[in-house]
Amino acid sequence: MTNFTNEAIEINELPKFEEVQLRGLHSNYLKVMLFNFSLLIILVLGGFATVFVLKKDIFSINVWGSIFVALILLLGLIVFFTKKSFKKIGYAFRSHDAIYKSGLISETTTIIPFNRVQHVALHQGFISRKLGLASVELFTAGGSSSDLKIPGLLLEEAQKIKNLVSQKINPTAERIESEPTAPLSTDSNE
């Protein structure tokens, strides 16, 4: 008969993820974020410009001017908050898990233990590829989307992280790859 124990853990003795030194994203990723938001604003401005050209008489010139000023102010706010939120993003890898923290107004910290990771992927968008950046995504069981995505990494660093996580989730893969392969048998009985 096996003795089963299930002792209580003191909450104060648990490791504190808040004390982990997080690394920030590469500074070029801020350009990617600003480009994406700028593209959105340009599309909105284009929509309003089209409506202005086709249906000027919907609003008075003062209202159109107010809409234009509001959109420019919105763009300024987006740039301001994007820069502020960029500084709040950080990640770390420990021996047993990955940590990702983000959020300016509502802060979110995600910790994924490696023993729960089933798949790791590396992605590059068009602008990120031009800037030499990539993102690493960790997938756990039961979902079609990633559970943790770390964007804004230098491609070389993202590849190292992908390899690290791959080795953590499948430690025998490295050993199998490094073992010499035996020549195939040429048995005549087959």
For residue range 10-19, list pLDDT tens digits in order.
Answer: 887 776 777 7
* pLDDT at site 173: 58
The owner of tokens 């690290």 is 164
Tokens of 174: 């490295």
185: pLDDT strictly greater than 50? no
Among residues of the chain, what percentage have pLDDT more than 70?
A: 87
Is 154 in contact with 95 (CB distance < 8 Å)?
Answer: no
Mean of the per-residue pLDDT values of the chain: 83
Question: How confident is residue 20, by pLDDT bands cut at 50, 70 and 90?
Answer: confident
pTM: 0.73
**Distance (Å, rounded) from C-alpha 109 to C-alpha 163?**
23
Interstrand relation of 108-113 and 148-154 (parallel, antiparallel or unpaired): unpaired
Question: How confident is residue 158, by pLDDT bands cut at 50, 70 and 90?
Answer: very high
Is 23 in contact with 90 (CB distance < 8 Å)?
Answer: yes
* pLDDT at site 29: 94
CA 146 and chain centroid, separation: 9
Q: What is the mean pLDDT of residues 125-131?
A: 92
Task: Report which residue type is found at 165.
Answer: V
Domain covering 89-177 in this structure, CATH number: 2.30.29.30
Among 34-38, 113-117, 135-139, 183-187, name the most confident range.
135-139
Q: Running DSSP on this structure, what letter comes out for residue 19?
A: G
* pLDDT at site 52: 76
Q: What is the mean pLDDT of residues 130-154?
A: 88
